[in-house]
Amino acid sequence: MIWRVGEKDAYGLLAELLRETEGMESLPGIARQPGGKPYFENYVNLHFSVSHSGVLSLCALGETAVGADVELVRPRSGGLPRYALSEGEYAWYLERGGRWEDFYTLWTLKEARTKCTGEGIFHTAARRVSVPLLQPGEEAFWEGFSFTALAGESWRGAVCLKIL
């Protein structure tokens, strides 16, 4: 799996990756599965995921199902972490000081997993989406997936790859 984050349109980043890794001069045709997950119509063995938040975008390519999510860190409703995180995740979040950066690390891992599976985070209760407790820069294998937590000064992101 390869990924790229930048201040560019997500599909522009995807086109760059395809040009560099696959030699494609333009984006191939994109269709959507019934749940909304995009895929390349004529490249069934090449999977991708895109995400954007504000001016920031993240895209990932893989040979199996992949999910990517990026979020600018900003305060939200104070009750959101308790609502969105499982008991163990919430305890981890509180142990680390209840910082929004840590919430977004977990949130992007959850979103990346549901994008990878095609479920989407809004089709299942976020607190039921199981992810490893990672800090930015860490990777883990978890329940048949490979996870990577990403971060910058004002953002958090994650990529998830289905392990065959």
Give the model confidence (pLDDT) of 47-69 as tens digits. Answer: 999 999 999 999 999 999 999 99
- Tell me the pLDDT tens digit for each residue of 112-128: 999 999 987 777 789 99
Domain 2-162 superfamily per CATH: 4'-phosphopantetheinyl transferase domain (3.90.470.20)
CA atoms lying within 13 Å on the CB side of residue 76? 17
Structural tokens at position 53: 């938040």
- Supply angle C-alpha 33, 143, 120, rounded to 5: 30
Q: How many helices (H) and strands (E) does the chain have?
A: 4, 9
Q: What local confidence, expressed as pLDDT, does residue 35 receive?
A: 81
Alpha-carbon distance of 110 to 12, in angstroms, equals 24
Structural tokens at position 129: 């989406």
- Supply angle C-alpha 137, 140, 39, rounded to 5: 90
Residue 107: CB atoms within 10 Å: 25
pTM, two decimals, is 0.95
Residue type present at position 163: I
**CA distances to 12, 15, 95 from 18, in Å:** 10, 5, 41
**Mean pLDDT, residues 25-42 taken together:** 93
Which residues make beta-bridge pairs with 140? Answer: 147
**Mean pLDDT, residues 129-148 taken together:** 97
Alpha-carbon distance of 115 to 144, in angstroms, equals 15
Residue 92: CB atoms within 10 Å: 16
Alpha-carbon distance of 143 to 150, in angstroms, equals 20
Percent of the chain with pLDDT over 90: 91
